[in-house]
Amino acid sequence: MSKQILYPLRFAPIYQYRLWGGRRLGDLLTEPLPGNGPIGEAWVLSDRDDFQSRVADGSLKGRAISELLAQFPEQVMGKLAGRFGRFPLLLKFLDALEMLSVQVHPSDAHPDLLPAGETGKTEAWVVLEAGPKSLIYSGLKPGTTEAGLRHALTNGGVAECLAYFTPQPGDAVFTPAGMVHALGGDIVVFEVQQNSDVTFRLYDWNHIDATTGKPRALQVDQALACIDFGERAGGGLAAPVVETTTPVKRERLFHCEQFRLSRLQGEAPFAVGAPGAPSVLVCIGGAGQIEQAGAAYAVAKGNVFLLPAAIGTCTFQPRGAVSMLEIGIPE
């Protein structure tokens, strides 16, 4: 296969009903929302058996991400080919009109809590929009013990055990596996996470699912088993690190074992992608185009592009001021 067959790949979002969701993702993404119910998530790069992202444009339109990785592993993944059985990250936009459940994800250190084929789930958020009632719960208050949390679960005092803050647009929040967390109150975030769908609900604010008329199931024992009560992993609000200021302001927001994420802001052309490794671009403000091998690929707010390893470094040409996220997979 020649390098020209691969190009910057845009994927169509997969919208997900969530009882806590709203309708704001329709203003962020170009594809219209389905129906008129609450849409809490848009999965914008997903290599899950049940939800496969498909290429939205070009000669590979309609091809699933799993097909591309199976047929062209070296061209897509470069030096990472063979290390992963599927694309290792799951990328989403979240619209949390109401509060998500208080939840926790297991780490790879708890194989007994992971279904076959799943990994642990470390994740991070970049806040895009926040209202006056928005809250992010991130970790437990110092001194909280398993016994104290169990007691709070029985008397409705779980919130009193959680550390929280009022988010602002631009905030970056790291949630390692094992950290209790929740968010909501009319907030929109971008989420990067390990490609895992394992979530244990600890508390659900007495929500009733309108589609069933019943509360959602809790997994209290599993959640307590994987909580890191010492919270040694350093999660919570992250401090951006400015790496460059020209031709683009590049801030490193997260760099962990599972992923790295930078925010890029500017008006002049700048380089994106990396030789020999895949990158993902997410446009969170403004517009422009990716220029590669003499072709141009239009990028609008909310678009997500996978830059395959085979195409190497590209140029992003903004149309006015632009704000992008660039995501990579550490070697």
pLDDT one-digit tens code per residue, 170-213: 999 999 999 999 999 999 999 999 999 999 999 999 899 888 99
Check whether residue 109 and residue 183 sit in a common domain: yes
Check whether residue 229 and residue 246 sit in a common domain: no
User: What pLDDT, on a 0 to 100 scale, did the predictor assign at position 117?
Assistant: 85
User: What pLDDT, on a 0 to 100 scale, did the predictor assign at position 231?
Assistant: 64
Check whether residue 139 and residue 196 sit in a common domain: yes
User: What pLDDT, on a 0 to 100 scale, did the predictor assign at position 2?
Assistant: 42
Check whether residue 111 and residue 201 sit in a common domain: yes
User: What pLDDT, on a 0 to 100 scale, did the predictor assign at position 234?
Assistant: 66
Round to whole Å and give the CA distance between 36 and 244: 43
> Considering 179, 202, 237, which residue would you say is the last residue of a domain?
237
Question: What distance lies between CA 50 and its chain's CA centroid?
Answer: 18
Listed as own residue / partner, the contacts of 69-77 with beta carbons closer than 8 Å and 24 or more positions apart are: 72/1, 72/5, 72/6, 72/308, 72/310, 74/309, 74/310, 75/1, 75/3, 75/5, 75/6, 75/308, 75/309, 75/310, 76/6, 76/278, 76/306, 76/308, 76/309, 76/310, 77/277, 77/278, 77/309
Check whether residue 225 and residue 272 sit in a common domain: no
Check whether residue 50 and residue 113 sit in a common domain: yes
Round to whole Å and give the CA distance between 102 and 147: 17
pLDDT in tens, 86-134: 999 999 999 999 999 999 999 988 889 999 889 999 999 999 999 999 9
Check whether residue 31 and residue 168 sit in a common domain: yes
The total number of structural domains that make up the chain? 2
Which residue, among 164, 168, 198, has the nearest Cα to 183 in the 3D structure? 164
User: What pLDDT, on a 0 to 100 scale, did the predictor assign at position 1?
Assistant: 39
Round to whole Å and give the CA distance between 24 and 186: 9
Check whether residue 128 and residue 201 sit in a common domain: yes
- From the CB of residue 7, how many other CB atoms can be counted at a distance below 10 Å? 23
Q: Which residues contact 28 (CB under 8 A, 6 or more apart)?
A: 93, 128, 188, 301, 302
Question: Using only C-alpha atoms, what is the Rg of the chain?
Answer: 20
Check whether residue 211 and residue 260 sit in a common domain: no
Check whether residue 312 and residue 195 sit in a common domain: no
> Considering 237, 264, 292, which residue would you say is the last residue of a domain?
237
User: What pLDDT, on a 0 to 100 scale, did the predictor assign at position 300?
Assistant: 97
Q: pLDDT under 70 in the chain at which residues?
A: 1-4, 231-234
CATH code assigned at 193:
2.60.120.10
User: What pLDDT, on a 0 to 100 scale, did the predictor assign at position 211?
Assistant: 85
User: What pLDDT, on a 0 to 100 scale, did the predictor assign at position 3?
Assistant: 44
Check whether residue 200 and residue 292 sit in a common domain: no
| Structural domain that includes position 41 | 3-78+85-237
Q: Report how far apart, in Å, the C-alpha atoms of 291 and of each of 183, 284, 288, 303, 317 are.
A: 37, 19, 10, 15, 7
Round to whole Å and give the CA distance between 159 and 149: 10
User: What pLDDT, on a 0 to 100 scale, did the predictor assign at position 48?
Assistant: 96
Round to whole Å and give the CA distance between 9 and 56: 8
Question: Measured in Å, how far apart are the chain's first and last C-alpha atoms?
Answer: 25
Enter the pTM of the model: 0.95
> Considering 237, 253, 273, which residue would you say is the last residue of a domain?
237
Which residue, among 285, 324, 323, 295, has the nearest Cα to 9 in the 3D structure? 295
Round to whole Å and give the CA distance between 21 and 99: 9
Round to whole Å and give the CA distance between 260 and 248: 18
Check whether residue 158 and residue 129 sit in a common domain: yes
Round to whole Å and give the CA distance between 162 and 180: 8
